[in-house]
């Protein structure tokens, strides 16, 4: 994900956890970073690292940021846990010149197999919660996200699907195949003003 960010840019990491990505970006790419994080422990960890992080959540607090405040707005593995994914994505595209979004792929064949053949809601390494206590309330597949991006008028500049080991699916180019074999996908998007 860090590779998609140009050096010395201004970055907002939405759902930044303990600030590991922001720290990495600051160290390796001289990025001027900011974060939003829901958990107090996460915010404290970030503040202790010297990062500028606000306690808040993607659904309620993105509205407060002005247009074009950042070069990149990052949402990593969080879109499926938001209450209003479309609204969140639209704010990101307003706040940042570019958005970087990574989503877990609900269309992975292992997940389809669990639903289709076992008749059970899937529990996998990446989606490891049971259906009744998962924070993931808005599952989508890679293809779903591509469709949403089109619906909000965004252009996908770059995308890469990753396998279970986090490695890019280099030799596979068909979107249909990504939807079946990709554990997650990362998208770089922007929307014309």
Partner 1 sequence: MGDLGTLLNGAVTQSVSPDSLTLGLSSNSPLRMDSGAALAPLTVAYQTYGALNGAKSNAILLCHALTGDQHVANPHPVTGRPGWWETMVGPGKPFDTDRFCVICSNVLGGCMGSTGPASLNPETGEPYGLDFPIVTIADMVRTQALLIDHLGIDTLLCVAGGSMGGMQVLQWAATYPDRVFAALPIATAARHSSQNIAFHEVGRQAIMADPDWRHGRYLVEGTRPGKGLGVARMAAHITYLSESALHRKFGRNLQDRAARTFSFDADFQVESYLRHQGAIFVERFDPNSYLYMTRAMDYFDLAADYGGSLANAFKGSRTRFCVVSFTSDWLFPTSDSRATVRALNAGGASVSFVEIETDRGHDAFLLDVPELIDTTKGFIDAAARARGVD
Q: Which two tokens stand for residue 50?
A: 């010297």
Q: Report H helices in 66-188.
A: 85-95, 109-113, 142-151, 175-181
- Residue 22 C-beta: closest distance to partner 1, Å: 12
Strands 52-55 vs 96-104: parallel, antiparallel or unpaired: unpaired
- Residue 144 C-beta: closest distance to partner 1, Å: 31
- Residue 129 C-beta: closest distance to partner 1, Å: 24
**Cβ(34)–Cβ(53) below 8 Å:** yes
d(CA 148, CA 129): 25
Residue 182's contacts (CB-CB under 8 Å, 6 or more residues apart) are: 105, 108, 142, 161, 162, 163, 169
In 18-149, DSSP assigns E strands to 32-37, 52-55, 70-76, 96-104
Of 29 and 138, nearer to partner 1 (C-beta) is 29
- Residue 45 C-beta: closest distance to partner 1, Å: 8
Of 66 and 119, nearer to partner 1 (C-beta) is 66
Of 41 and 167, nearer to partner 1 (C-beta) is 41
Can you give the binding site for partner 1, defined by CB under 8 A?
34, 40, 43-44, 46-56, 64-66, 69
Of 44 and 126, nearer to partner 1 (C-beta) is 44
Of 51 and 111, nearer to partner 1 (C-beta) is 51
- Residue 49 C-beta: closest distance to partner 1, Å: 7
């Amino acid at each position: 994900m860090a590779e998609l960010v140009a050096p010395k840019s201004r970055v907002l990491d939405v759902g930044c956890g303990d600030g590991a990505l922001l720290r990495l970006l600051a160290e390796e790419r001289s990025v001027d970073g900011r974060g939003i994080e829901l958990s107090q422990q996460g915010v404290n960890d970030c503040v202790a690292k010297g990062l500028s992080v606000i306690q808040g959540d993607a659904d309620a607090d993105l509205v407060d940021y002005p247009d074009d405040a950042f070069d990149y707005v990052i949402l990593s593995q969080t879109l499926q846990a938001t209450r209003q994914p479309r609204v969140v994505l639209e704010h990101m595209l307003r706040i940042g010149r570019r958005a970087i979004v990574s989503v877990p792929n609900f269309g992975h064949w292992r997940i389809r197999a669990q639903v289709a053949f076992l008749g059970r809601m899937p529990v996998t390494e990446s989606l490891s919660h049971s259906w009744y206590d998962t924070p993931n309330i808005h599952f989508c597949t890679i293809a779903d996200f591509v469709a949403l991006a089109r619906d909000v008028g965004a252009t996908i500049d770059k995308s890469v699907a990753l396998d279970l080991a986090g490695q890019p699916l280099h030799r596979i180019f068909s979107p249909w195949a990504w939807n079946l074999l990709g554990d997650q996908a990362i998208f770089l998007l922007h929307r014309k003003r």
